[in-house]
Amino acid sequence: MLLYLLLLILIPAIWIAFEIGLVVRDRSRGMGSNTQDKGTRYFNFISIALGITIAAILNGYSKFFFPGGRTTIVFLIGLVIMLAGMALRFWAFVTLGVSFRTTIETHNDQQVVKRGPYRLVRHPSYSGLLLICCGYGIAL
């Protein structure tokens, strides 16, 4: 039980620290502007935070467990999906390097990237976020 709790706190904490680091990096470089965003960035952040919080609260109620209680295999599958999402998002970040932003921005000499995870999926960073959130829900 203690291992469940430790992993369920540690993995999201690493993810959150990475996301905060990305925002700080963007802001320190004068990038990541959301002047044309119309609140979508904040809505997404609040939705993710609210979803994770509700999932964690519901995790405390046994009526939401599978018949027979918690299952270790489902928990581990959820953690693997979370880690895969984190790895995909990080791979997208590394592939784009200084061009990676936490907001959608373009510049005049920007080119379409077709290497790394971008040869497999057009939006690997968003796909990674989706996997992280789904994995968290499955782990709970």
For the chain, what are the domain ranges?
A: 38-139
Q: How many Cα atoms occupy the beta-carbon half-sphere of 118 within 13 Å? A: 11
Q: Are 115 and 95 in contact (CB under 8 A)?
A: yes
The amino acid at residue 79 is L
To 5 degrees, how large is the angle CA 55–CA 61–CA 64? Answer: 70
Per residue in 54-113, pLDDT tens? 877 777 666 666 666 667 888 889 889 999 999 999 999 999 887 887 777 777 777 888
Q: Does this model's pTM top 0.85?
A: no
Rounded to a whole number, what is the distance in angstroms from the first to the last CA of the chain? Answer: 12
Euclidean distance between CA atoms 78 and 28, whole angstroms:
34
Q: By CB neighbour count within 10 A (0-12 exposed, 13-18 middle, 19+ buried), where does 91 fall? A: middle
Separation of alpha carbons 123 and 127, rounded Å: 6
At 1 the pLDDT is 64
Q: Is the pLDDT of residue 33 over 70?
A: no
